Amino acid sequence: MNYQEWYCKYVDKEEGIIDNLFNRNQKVQYKDITKQKTNIINQAFNNDIIKNIALNTDIRTIKIGGNKAYHRNGNIVLRNNYDNRTLIHEIGHAVDYNNKWLSSNNSFIKAIQLDKNNILKHQDMYKKLIKNNTDNRELSDIVGGMTNNKIVGKYKHQSKYWKKTGKLEKEMFAQIFTMAGNNDIKQLELFQKYLPNTFKEFDNLIRRLL
């Protein structure tokens, strides 16, 4: 299974499925790598500002095992063959959580709604944007979330995922955090241009943590 296939199959299960994970009636065995937090963050992050935020975040545990990645209440689980973007994404959720859910900030929510309204007004433009950038996983996922997957590239959550309260804001925060932590200039520039309100408010939230 390649990454795209894995993402589409498992991304909807990345949060909230924690207590009872079984593989053919065998409970998943997790390896605790919490003590390696500093080392794995230093290796994964390409942006020093975002890296320092991650290093200063109180993450209770980091474990690897199974084939799902998720965050819950300051605890992170990664699949055995996780990549750096997945790690950064889940740490983004931890940063959000440890700061009293930054993503629930009213200004951030309003900014997302403004950009969502703009997307729905100019759907042809955003369809073209996604078509030309279909491999950009964060952009694809978030535009999909904002349009109930009417406009989406290769990477997405299922529509029912976005119906859960607060999911769009939380995923928006974690996805932009991922791009910033990875120094993904191309996607950041696209977000700044095509989702300007959300991008600006994310920047305001990050400045609170500096």
pLDDT for 33-71, tens place per residue?
999 999 999 999 999 999 999 999 999 999 999 888 999
Q: Name which of 122, 142, 140 is nearest 131 in CA terms.
A: 140
pLDDT of residue 21: 39
Residue among 156, 158, 152, 146 at smallest CA distance from 134: 152
Alpha carbons within 13 angstroms on the beta-carbon side of residue 131 total: 7
Mean pLDDT of the chain: 89
pLDDT band at residue 100 under the 50/70/90 scheme: very high
Measured CA to CA, the distance from residue 149 to residue 141 in angstroms comes to 8
Q: Which residues contact 111 (CB under 8 A, 6 or more apart)?
A: 197, 198, 200, 201
In terms of pLDDT, which residue wins out, 15 or 185? 185
- pLDDT at position 7 over 60: no
The bridge status of strand 75-78 relative to strand 61-64 is parallel
